[in-house]
Structure formats: C-alpha cells, structure tokens
Structure 1
C-alpha cells in the first residue's frame, strides 16, 4: 500500500472529526455565545451547505495547478477555518470559520479520490479510495468521542485547536508522501463539465443523495429517539455513536474490497439491506439491544455504499473525473442536509421520533431503484455497441481499432508514470 494513502487518510480524519464533533458540543457553544440550540444548529447546516458549494468551486479554482498542490492548499484552508472557529469572539465569526473549513471538505475528498485511485493498479482502485475514507470513518470512532470529551472538559475551543493540529499533520504528510503528479494535459473545464452530460454520472450522484439521505434521516435524530423512545440514558448516546462509527469503518472497508469485483451487485445488496434495516428501526427502536444492533447495521450498510458510488462516478467520468468526483462528495452532504430537514418536518408535524426511519427507508429504496435503472442502461448500451461496430466499414473498423490501441497505450503509460512517482510496484 502506498504511504501516500496514509497521508490522505490522516487529512480525512481531521475533516471527519471537525464535521461531526460539533454535534456533541452544540450546548456548550450555544451557552458561551448566548444563542439558542436551534441557532447553534446553523453551525451544522452551514458546514453541510458549504461542502455542497465548495466542492465544485474549489475544484474549478484548482484546475490550473497540480493535484498535490491543490490538496495542500485545501488542508491550509481547513487549518485556517478551524483556528478561526477556535478563536472566534462572536457566533458570526464562529459560523464563518465553519464555512471556511467546509469549503475544503468536498474538493479534498474529490481530488483525493482521483489521486488515491491513480496510486494503485486499476483492479485496486475502490480499495484505495476506501483506505482514504477510512480516515473519515475512524474519526467517528475516535476523533468525535475524544473531541467531545475534551470539549466538555477543557472547553470547545481546545477541541478545534486540536483538530487544526491534525490538519497540520495531514498537510505535512501530503507534502512529504504524495507524489507530484503532473496536471493532466488537454483536460479543460469544458471537459470536466462534459461529464455531467453522462446520464450514468448523474444517476450515480442521485444514488449518493438518496442513499446517504436514508442514513442521516435516522441518525440525525438518534439522540432523542434513543432517550425518549428506546429508554437509553443521555450518557449512553456517546457509545451508541461509537457503535455507529464502528459499523462505518467495517462497511467502508468491505465496500472497498468488493466494489472492485462486483460493484453493482454490491450496491443492490447494501441499498436494499439499508432500506429493510431502516424500516425495521421503527420496531427495533423500542428495544435496547435490538436498537444497538440496528445502529451498527445502519453504519455498516450506509458506508459500504461509499467506495462503490465514488468509483462508479470515477469510472463513468473517466475522461475528466476530478470535478465529478468532488461534486459527488457534495452530494453526500446534500443528502444529509435534505434528509435531516425532512425528518425534522415529520417530527415537528407530530409523527414521532421514529418517523424519520420510514423516510430513510423510502430514500434508500429509491436509491436501489436508480441502481437497477443504471444497470439496465448499461445492458442497453452494451447491446447497441456490437451492432454499431458491425455496421462500420472494414477501413473504419481498422481505424477505430488502431485508435483504441493507441489510447490504451497512452493510458498504460500514464498509469506507469503515476506508479513510478508514487514509488509503487508495477
């Protein structure tokens, strides 16, 4: 495994920690600034919307420099945002710090996915992407609970300074270990935007929004559900979140392992299983052991979809994957924000704290329907291609074959250059 993947995972760890640790620190922050809890909640919403907007914006701004340098600039932005949050004298500046940090999030994972995939052989791309995302999932097991404990004990400002320190370590690791891969020649913004005319790219992103929306429809309201419906004590919620994080880690690694072999069948299994488990959560939420197991399964099934969905976007936008990859990261957060909002409407309307679970099940089932549609489109394209080739003249066929061979050789040469720069075996 290239050491550069560890540097990317470390950066992902810091980003994952700052994204989710805010949830456990909201009461302390609200008290310090003298604002209500709902107002403090804008620190969560603002971050998510910043990721959605920042993913394409920062990626486009970085098209003129190498991917390594862009990753370093993004980590610098992340560090600055967290330092601003830690030192902010007013709530408005705290929110500004959160937004600054969020601008780095989507582009880091989008560009990082492309870099990670380029460091290994083609048959190991999903595993490399999963290795980077392991930093995000481990953050929910270690970084978030530890950051919450430190914030409640020593003050939330200390937590954000520590997170900024992780950003410094990630920046140093990227500078030292990630190879200086040249910016692809001939790839312009127009080429990157052209990927969004591909129906398969759009279908994959829609699956991302709906599938992850299903997860966060339930998890966003886990605390009131577990305390008011299941009967857990407030202090137990932290350990339930750790359990969710452990499921994330396991699901992410398994998703990375099998996405390289059977990508679409894996999506059928995980999205279908997620829909069933979320529907059952309306029942298991009334029993403590069953609820704990369900939380673990939601984390595992939800994050098992991350490597295959990200790889699906990379594969379908193979000619210019950077912007599409970053926008897909924004799609994860768009799903989070929309599902949390819709779940809140259900609860406010009197449907109860388990109602978001039904919403999550419906969203996951919709994502499964899109996966089946995407596969049907693949099969249709595969049937059309042979007939098109057969109708070509012998001269045109020979020319196309020659062109294909030439393109393949160029791709192989580029892959060798990347592996040599990374110091990985051929």
Structure 2
C-alpha cells in the first residue's frame, strides 16, 4: 500500500477516534450534572463509563474475530453509525436505565474500529513507521481531550449537559461523510484462521504486555474518571475552570502522545517506565497544591503529560509481541484497555464512597506498582527473545 494512502487512513482513523472517545470519555466532564439531574450519587453516575468500558472488554475480541473477514471500511462506518444513533437518542435525556443501554449500544463495534483502522493504516510499512501511524490514530484520544471534551464540558456548564451529545453526534456525522468520500474500499484479502490468531494468547511476552496495558490504564482511570468531581470538591474549582483544566490536560496529552510515538519504536521499556512514574508523582504533587488556580494548573498539566500516551504504550506492548495477528492483538488491547477503564473507575468510585473525594489521586498508585513489576517482566522476556531462548 502507498504510504500516502496509509497516512490518509491514519488521519481519517484519528478523526473517527476523536468522535468515539469524545462520546466515551466526554461523560467524565459532565458526571456531576448527570448525577444531579437523575438524583443519583457520583459513583452510580460513573457506571455510564465503567459499564461502557466493561462491555467492550467482554465482547471486543469475539466481535473483532468475527468481523475481520469483512471490508474494513464498512465495519468502521458501521461502528460510527452506532455511535451516531447512541448520541442522537441520548439528547432527549431518557430514563437513566435507557441512557445506560444507549451508552452500551455502540460498544459492539468499538474495538473493531480501532483494530481495523490501525491494521489498515500500518499495512506494508516498517516497524518504526507502524508505531508512528498508530500514534496518529491513537492521537485521536488525546485530541478529544484537548478539543471536544473540554469544549462540551464548558458548554454543559453554561447551558445543559444534553448539548454534549449534539456536538459529539455532529462530529461523528461529519466523520462518516469524510470516511465515505475519501477512504478506499478495504476488502479482506487474507483470511486468518481463528486458531492462528488465538495462539498469541499463549505467548509470555504478549501476556506480560497485556498486563502492562491493563494495570497502567487502570492506574490512571482510578483518578481520571473523577477528574471533574475531584477538582470541583477538593480544589473548589468552578465548572468553567474545570473545562479550562480539561483543555490544558488535553494539550499536554497531545504533546506527550506525539513524543511517545517517536520513542516507543526505539526505547519501549524506558519510555514506559518514564511515563509510569507519573502514577506516583501526580498524587504527591497534588498534596502540595495551594488554593491558587495556578498551582492546580501546573499539576494538571503535568498529569496530562504523564497520562497522555497510556493507550499508545498499551498498543506498543501488545502488538510488538503479535506481529502476525495485529488485528486481534489491537482488539485485545482495546478490550483490556477498557477493562482497565472499568476497573479503575469502579475502584476509584469505591474508595471515594468510603474515604471521600480527596483520596482520588492516590488510589491508582497500587496499580502503578503492579505495572512497574510487569514492565520488568516484559523487559526480561524481551532479552530472552533476543538471546534466542523463547518464541516471541
């Protein structure tokens, strides 16, 4: 495939991820408003995020194995179509149980979108270029955090939280049009057996990479899921100030995601360890913030830098150990990443309910330690592979 076409797929995939992630994580900025509207506590409102992620974790790999035989363009457009339907009906603020169903609906093809986009964009490219193209697609996560998520949070603070779904739906509709117009058909020309793809589940390096992905994302989402509520209640920021903090958080995440995309291909272990230190330093830094918004902004900016590449790092650790089954590996990364989102959100919510919102930044440090241990395991396994002692 021509590199120009690869890059076009990557940038269109990035735009699709922007719409998907603004729907998935955009709820973080409006959780307090939703909790108030439905007269529920913040932990219950958090189920909108945790159950969304948990459903992806459970169903994702099976759906990707099934749809991998179809045209990638059609699957990607179908995934966005489900998100469009979900956003449209959520505008009307249905009963909470129905809002939950609408949230879960697009999870059917959520991992398939990521998997197909990454597989199509990185086809017939070098290992280093694959990581760069992947960073463009995954960069849609950071881009959502610097554009749509803070913007919709700001709009919700002025008007109403329902408008966030209008904005997200418009972006997804626009992406569908661009995808239909400019993305080439991508029929599946190489049918891989389920047995060959499932064989990656027995590889020690892949298992270690999966654990790194799961624990790293869990560590961050113990606190990030309650970003708005923590800054509101613990740091006494207004809704508009929180939207500015989300913007700052996202800007720093875009920058660090770009840098990590260049470094991971060469120094995967060291890059991971560097960003992992944030899970310990961020809560420590918050302990020393004063009542000034400047001190909070400095820590939030640092938080954004250290959090930014967590999904990209997960992709790097898993796909590098399964180069012969990239689509399935990408789907598993999405599934276990969302399992981390669900586990982190549930864990953070439990601690908040029992110990108060001020404990939020510290909850993820335990998972940070688990991640550190698994990174060392992966480094040891990589060294054995290079020494010819293990099948990769």
Pairwise TM-score range, normalised by the shorter structure:
0.7 to 0.9
SS at match of 1:3: helix
The aligned counterpart of 2:332 is: 327
- CA shift at 1:126, angstroms? 1.1
Q: 1:30 to 1:264 in 2, by over 3 A?
A: closer
* Equivalence for 1:412: none
User: Which residue of the other structure, out of 300, 307, 313, is the alignment partner of 1:308?
Assistant: 313
Structure 1 residue 131 displacement after superposition: 0.8
Match of 2:281 in 1: 277
Aligned with 1:368 (options 372, 377, 380): 372
Alignment-derived partner of residue 261 in structure 2: 256
* Aligned-pair CA distance for 1:287: 5.7
Equivalent of residue 227 in structure 2, options 218, 222, 225? 222
SS at match of 2:320: helix
Aligned equivalents of 2:125, 2:180: Cα separation in 1: 19
| Cα 1:281/1:336, change in 2 over 3 Å | farther
Instruction: Tell me, yes or no, if the aligned pair for 2:10 and 2:133 is still in contact at 8 Å.
Output: yes
Q: CA deviation at 1:253?
A: 0.8
The SS at the match of 2:91 is: helix
How many matched pairs?
A: 385
User: Which of 74, 93, 97 is the matching residue for 2:98?
Assistant: 93
Moved more, 37-46 or 104-113: 37-46
Q: CA deviation at 1:51?
A: 2.4
Q: Are the aligned partners of 2:73 and 2:184 in contact in 1 as well (CA < 8 Å)?
A: yes
Pairwise CA distance, 1:213: 1.6
* Shift of residue 186, structure 1, vs aligned partner: 4.0
Change (3 A) 1:25 1:344: closer
After superposing the two structures, state which structure 1 stretch, 224-233 or 236-245, moved more: 224-233
- Structure-to-structure mapping, 1:186-201, within 5 angstroms: 186-201=191-206
Q: Distance in 1 between matches of 2:204 and 2:228?
A: 38
Q: Could you tell me how far 1:35 is from its partner in structure 2?
A: 5.4
Q: Measure how far apart 1:194 and its partner are.
A: 1.5
* TM-score normalised per structure 2: 0.88
Instruction: Tell me whether 1:212 sits opposite 2:217 in the alignment.
Output: yes
Question: Which has the higher Rg, Structure 1 or Structure 2?
Answer: 1
Q: 1:7 aligns with which of 1, 12, 22?
A: 12
SS where residue 378 of structure 1 aligns? Answer: helix
Within 5 Å, which residues of 2 pair with 1:370-409? 370-385=374-389
Q: C-alpha deviations, 1:137-160, integer Å up to 9, x for none?
A: 111121012223444555444432
Work out the CA distance in 1 between the residues paired with 2:328 and 2:241. Answer: 41
How far did residue 88 of structure 1 move? 5.9
Q: Distance in 2 between matches of 1:348 and 1:156?
A: 24
What is the match of residue 169 of structure 2?
164
Please name the residue that 2:178 is paired with: 173
Once the 2 structures are TM-superposed, how far is the Cα of residue 254 of structure 1 from its aligned partner? 0.9
Cα offset for 1:107?
A: 2.3
Residue deviations 1:334-392 (CA, integer Å, cap 9, x gap): 21221222223333333x54433333223223212211111111212332459x9xxxx
Alignment partner of 1:356 out of 357, 360, 372: 360
Match of 1:51 among 44, 56, 79: 56
Residues 110 and 341 of structure 1: is their aligned pair in 2 closer, same or farther, counting only changes over 3 Å? same
Aligned CA distance change for structure 1 residues 159 and 341 (closer, same or farther; 3 Å):
closer
Deviations, residues 74-112 of structure 1 (Å, cap 9, x unaligned): 112222222232246433322211111233322212322
CA RMSD of aligned residues (A): 2.7
Does the CA contact (< 8 Å) of 1:6 and 1:132 recur in 2?
yes
Q: Which moved more, 1:71-80 or 1:166-175?
A: 166-175
Residue by residue over 1:212-248, the C-alpha shift from the partner in whole angstroms, topping out at 9 and shown as x without a partner, is 1221222233344434444444542222222211121
Structure 1 pair 260/152, CA: closer, same or farther in 2 (3 Å)?
same
Structure 1 unaligned regions, length at least 5: 389-426
> How far apart in 1 are the matches of 2:226 and 2:163?
27
Q: How far has the Cα of 1:197 moved from its partner?
A: 1.3
Distance 1:201 1:347, change over 3 A: same
Give the TM-score, by structure 1 length. 0.81
Which of the pair has the greater relative contact order for Cα pairs under 8 Å at 6+ separation?
Answer: 2
Kept after mapping to 2: 8 A contact 1:226/1:285: no
1:161, distance to aligned residue in structure 2 (A): 3.1
Within 2, Cα distance between the matches of 1:34 and 1:217?
Answer: 23
Task: Give secondary structure in 2 for the equivalent of 1:180.
Answer: coil
- With over 3 angstroms needed to count, the CA separation of the structure-2 counterparts of 1:232 and 1:314, relative to structure 1, is same
Helix, strand or coil at the partner of 1:64: coil
The range that moved more, 301-310 or 128-137, is 301-310
CA distance in 2, matches of 1:36, 1:356: 16
Q: Is the 8 A contact 1:25 1:148 kept in 2?
A: yes
Take 1:30 and 1:227, find their aligned partners in 2: how far apart are those partners? 14
